[in-house]
Structure 1
Amino acid sequence: MNLHEYQAKELLKKYGVPVQEGIAVSTPHDAEEAYRQIKTQYGSNFAVVKAQIHAGGRGKGKVRETGINGVKVVKSVDEVCEVSQKILGGTLVTIQTGEAGKVVNKVLIAQDMYYDGPSERKEFYLSILLDRSKGENVIMYSTEGGMDIEEVAHKTPEKIFKEWVYPAGLLQGYQARKIAFNLGLKGDAFKNMVKFVTNLYKAYLGLDASMLEINPLFKASDDKIVAVDCKMNLDDNALMRHPDLAAMRDVAEEDPTEVEAGKHNLNFVKLDGNVGCMVNGAGLAMATMDMIKLSGGEPANFLDVGGTANAQTVEAGFRIIMKDPKVKAILINIFGGIVRCDRVAQGVIDAYKNMGNIEIPIIVRLQGTNAEEAKKLIDESGLKVQSAILLSEAAQLVNKAVAAA
């Protein structure tokens, strides 16, 4: 589950991690009031208006309707009102959103961190995530923080440092000091960075995060270390331990079909292809997607109905796939180990009848528990559903359907 910047910062503060303070608002009027509070509290006319979407690259991104950047520095009430009006309700397009962009429903009015001369301030990069190849958490950090971190990783990878941490333990003191040393810090800045990294790692573990990225990680001229921006992803499987965090979910930022699939306990990921697929089991789903590509098609989705699927679940999945106008054919590939094939077949038949006239070719391959009964249900349904036994046969039918589309 992704969080907005303002949500992530509030959580970090609970772990003693210093952050750039700000107030999230959804209207220009509230933005003006937030600016006045920030100005009074920090004694500066400067503030930052930051679009709140689940994507990075906001500083370089532009709102399609107005051409304004997603992050802007302002220095007056009039300016904060004007900028907020141009951002709120607009579609922000960044390198991470793609051309579709994301609608901005909130902006963060944040304190100005560049309150002094540039001589002693510095921007760093730091993130924490799981390194699956090693089975350990890894802290990635660099002296070259800011909006061009992707270019740094691509052109000068030697400037990216890594520190691995055993998942069952905390970050050790010597590791935190090593990070501060590699960032070239000394004195109070060194001590503050050690404390910052230590508390940040505690937050990563305590919140059951799957990714935590601070960019920029800012060192001010007074040696304070502050998280100016924060991206945080939480492990969906751990939300049962954090009902307060689950309540922070912003479904408006998610694909509507994925949200609907979640309501039916379906594992669904929207893709850009032309062949919809419904499978039980992640491994079989991946193999089916490979088969679709080898047959000349492109997967339109990843949909795993799981081992406890029934007719209602299958019908829900079928309806979700059909909402994609790009889908030119549907392949249902079920291996009945736990799930019964006849249940899946009945779900397909019910969905077909309930949805009325369906012109898209449907290929069904059902093998395993009650496969014969399932094939009989499909064949006797009178519906325009093509049945396959072998995977190669299903592949040929998919190829034919795609070629005819």
Structure 2
Amino acid sequence: MNLHEYQAKELLKKYNVPVQEGIPVDRADAAEEAYKNLKVQFGNNFAVVKAQIHAGGRGKGKIQGSEQRGVAVGKSAEEIKQIASNILGGTLVTIQTGPAGKLVNKVLVAQDVYYPGPNPVKEFYLSILLDRGRGQNVIMYSTEGGMDIEEVAHNTPDKIFKEWVHASGGLLPFQARKIAFNLGLKGEAFKNCVKFVTNLYNAYVGLDCSMLEINPLFKTSDEKIIAVDCKMNLDDNSLMRHPDLEALRDISEEDPTEVEAGKYNLNFVKLDGNVGCMVNGAGLAMATMDMIKLSGGEPANFLDVGGTANATTVEAGFRIILKDPKVKAILINIFGGIVRCDRVAQGVIDAYKSIGNIEVPIIVRLQGTNAEEAKKLIEESGLKVQSAILLSEAAALVNKAVA
């Protein structure tokens, strides 16, 4: 589950992680009041307005139909109000949103941290995620912050450092010091960085994050270390332990079809192809998508109905797939191990009759428990459903449907 920047920062503060302070608002006049409050609190004329969407590249992205960027600096209440007015309600297009962009419902009015002082400011990069190959969490960090880490990895890979953390031991003090040292810090900034990294790792573990990225990790002119931006992803499987965090979910930021699929416990991811697919099991779903491509089509989605597929879930899957106007055919590929093929077949028949007016070809490949009974049910239903036993047969039917 992705969180907005302002939500993630509030959670980090509970773990004593210093952050760039800000006030989230959903109206331009509220942005003006937020600026005034920040000015009183920090005594700085400058403030930053940040669009709150679940995507990166906001600073480079633009609101559709204007030159307004997703992150902008203002130095007066009137200017902040105007920037917020330009962003709120607009569609922000960034490198991560694609051309469709994302609607901006909130902005974060944040303090300016680039104030002058006795020492130069510096931007770093730091993230924590799971290295599945090693079975350990890894802290990835770089002296080159404030920019796309992919560019840094491509152009200057030697500037990216990694520190692996053993699950049973946690982050050790020498590892936090090593990170601060490799970032070139010393004195008070070094001490503050050690505390920052330690507390940030505690937040990553305590909140059951699957990814936590700070870019930029910022050293102020008075040697403080703070998180200027934060991208946080929570492990959905852990939300049973964090009912308060589940309430932070912003459904408006998610694909509506994926939200609907979640209501039926369907694992669904929308893609850009022309063949809708419904499969039981993630491995079989991946193999089915490969088969669709080899047969000349492109998968329109990933849909795993799991091992307990029934008439209700099959019908829900149908409805979700048919909402995509690009779909020219639907392939149902079920291996009956736990699930009985005849029950899935009956679900297909019931869904077909319930939905009605399904104009795209439907190819059903059922193999395993009660596969023959399932094939017989479909053939005797009188519906325009094509059945197959072998994967090669299903591939040939898909090829014919999309040709």
TM-score by length of 2: 0.99
Aligned residue in 2 for 1:65: 65
Q: C-alpha separation between the residues in 2 aligned to 1:195 and 1:247?
A: 29
Gaps of 5+ in 1: none
CA-to-partner distance for each residue in 1:173-226, whole Å, 9 max, x for gaps? 010000000000000100000000000000000000000000000001111000
**What is the identity, as a one-letter code, of the residue corresponding to 1:359?**
E
Cα RMSD (Å):
1.0
Aligned residue in 2 for 1:185: 185
Q: C-alpha separation between the residues in 1 aligned to 2:308 and 2:393?
A: 26
Aligned residue in 2 for 1:309: 309
Q: C-alpha separation between the residues in 2 aligned to 1:30 and 1:118?
A: 34
1:287-326 → structure 2 map (5 Å cutoff): 287-326=287-326
2:96 aligned with 1:92, yes or no?
A: no
**What is the identity, as a one-letter code, of the residue corresponding to 1:301?**
N
CA-CA distance at 1:119 after TM superposition: 5.2
Q: C-alpha separation between the residues in 2 aligned to 1:150 and 1:91?
A: 25
SS of the residue 1:2 aligns to? coil
Q: C-alpha separation between the residues in 2 aligned to 1:144 and 1:109?
A: 25
Aligned residue in 2 for 1:107: 107
The percentage of aligned residue pairs carrying the same residue is 82
Bigger Cα displacement from structure 2, 145-154 vs 108-117: 145-154
CA-to-partner distance for each residue in 1:228-249, whole Å, 9 max, x for gaps? 0000000001111100011100
SS of the residue 2:205 aligns to? helix
Aligned residue in 1 for 2:388: 388
Q: C-alpha separation between the residues in 2 aligned to 1:245 and 1:148?
A: 28
Asked if 1 retains the 8 angstrom alpha-carbon contact of 2:280 and 2:333, the reply is yes
Asked if 1 retains the 8 angstrom alpha-carbon contact of 2:61 and 2:93, the reply is yes
Q: C-alpha separation between the residues in 1 aligned to 2:255 and 2:239?
A: 19
**What is the identity, as a one-letter code, of the residue corresponding to 1:354?**
S
Aligned residue in 2 for 1:219: 219
Q: C-alpha separation between the residues in 1 aligned to 2:149 and 2:259?
A: 31
Asked if 2 retains the 8 angstrom alpha-carbon contact of 1:378 and 1:385, the reply is yes
Aligned residue in 1 for 2:82: 82
CA-CA distance at 1:73 after TM superposition: 0.4
**What is the identity, as a one-letter code, of the residue corresponding to 1:57?**
G
2:144 aligned with 1:144, yes or no?
A: yes
**What is the identity, as a one-letter code, of the residue corresponding to 1:128?**
I
Bigger Cα displacement from structure 2, 117-126 vs 274-283: 117-126
Q: C-alpha separation between the residues in 2 aligned to 1:29 and 1:342?
A: 60
Q: C-alpha separation between the residues in 1 aligned to 2:168 and 2:289?
A: 35
**Paired residue total:** 403
CA-CA distance at 1:118 after TM superposition: 9.2
SS of the residue 1:109 aligns to? strand
SS of the residue 1:3 aligns to? coil
CA-CA distance at 1:359 after TM superposition: 1.3
Q: C-alpha separation between the residues in 2 aligned to 1:221 and 1:278?
A: 56
Asked if 2 retains the 8 angstrom alpha-carbon contact of 1:59 and 1:147, the reply is no
Q: C-alpha separation between the residues in 1 aligned to 2:356 and 2:270?
A: 24
TM-score by length of 1: 0.98
1:169-248 → structure 2 map (5 Å cutoff): 169-248=169-248
Aligned residue in 1 for 2:161: 161
2:258 aligned with 1:258, yes or no?
A: yes
CA-CA distance at 1:51 after TM superposition: 0.2
1:321-400 → structure 2 map (5 Å cutoff): 321-400=321-400
